[in-house]
Structure 1
Amino acid sequence: MPTDALSDAELAERFATAGTPATPAYERVKTVLRAQIDSGRWPEGFQLPSENQLVGALGLARMTVNRAIRDLATEGVVVRMPGVGTFVAPDKAASPLFEVRNIADEVQRRGHRHRTDIVFARREPSGEPHGLWHGEAFHSLVVHYEETTPIQVEDRYVDPALAPDYLAQDFTAETPNSYLSRVAPLVRGEHVVEALLGSPQECELLQIPPTEPCLMINRKTWSARGLVSVARLVHPGSRSRLEGGFTT
Structure 2
Amino acid sequence: MNTAREPSAGGKKPSAEGKRPSARGEPRYVAIKRHIRGQIESGRWAVHSQVPSENQLAQEFGVSRMTARRALSELTDEGVLMRSQGLGTFVAEPVPAGSLLEVRNIADEVSARGHSYSSRILLLRETTAEANVAHALGLPQGAPVFHSVIVHCDNGLPIQWEERFTNPQLAPDYLQQDFSSTTPNAYLSRVAPLTEVDTTVEAIVAEAAVGEALELEAGSACLQVWRRTKSSTGTVSFARLVHPGSRYRLGAQLRF
Give the TM-score normalised by structure 1: 0.75
* Match in the other structure for 1:36: 39
Q: CA-to-partner distance for each residue in 1:27-79, whole Å, 9 max, x for gaps?
A: 88766643431243312333157354356xxxxx99xx979878755643245
* Match in the other structure for 2:21: none
* Match in the other structure for 1:217: 225
Instruction: Determine the C-alpha separation between the residues in 2 that align with 1:4 and 1:197.
Output: 31
Are residues 1:130 and 2:137 paired?
Answer: no
* Match in the other structure for 2:94: 91
Are residues 1:230 and 2:241 paired?
Answer: no
Q: Which amino acid aligns with 2:254?
A: F
Instruction: Determine the C-alpha separation between the residues in 1 that align with 2:186 and 2:114.
Output: 19
Contact 1:124 1:136 in 2 (8 A): yes
Instruction: Determine the C-alpha separation between the residues in 2 that align with 1:220 and 1:124.
Output: 18
Structure 1 pair 209/35, CA: closer, same or farther in 2 (3 Å)? closer
Contact 1:159 1:228 in 2 (8 A): yes
* Match in the other structure for 1:120: 123
RMSD in angstroms over aligned alpha carbons? 3.7
Q: CA-to-partner distance for each residue in 1:144-194, whole Å, 9 max, x for gaps?
A: 122322221110011112112111111111100000111111122121111
Structure 1 pair 199/6, CA: closer, same or farther in 2 (3 Å)? closer
Contact 1:144 1:152 in 2 (8 A): yes
* Match in the other structure for 1:104: 107
Contact 1:3 1:41 in 2 (8 A): no
Instruction: Determine the C-alpha separation between the residues in 1 that align with 2:222 and 2:4.
Output: 34
State the aligned residue count: 235
Q: List runs of 5+ in structure 2 lacking aligned partners.
A: 19-23
Structure 1 pair 52/209, CA: closer, same or farther in 2 (3 Å)? closer
* Match in the other structure for 1:46: 50
Q: CA-to-partner distance for each residue in 1:200-248, whole Å, 9 max, x for gaps?
A: 3212222223322221111111112221111001122232222222234
What is the DSSP-based 3-state SS (H/G/I as helix, E as strand, rest coil) of the residue aligned with 1:238? coil
* Match in the other structure for 2:151: 143
Q: How does 1:153-164 map to 2 (within 5 A)?
A: 153-164=161-172
Structure 1 pair 90/131, CA: closer, same or farther in 2 (3 Å)? same
Contact 2:4 2:49 in 1 (8 A): no
Contact 1:216 1:235 in 2 (8 A): yes
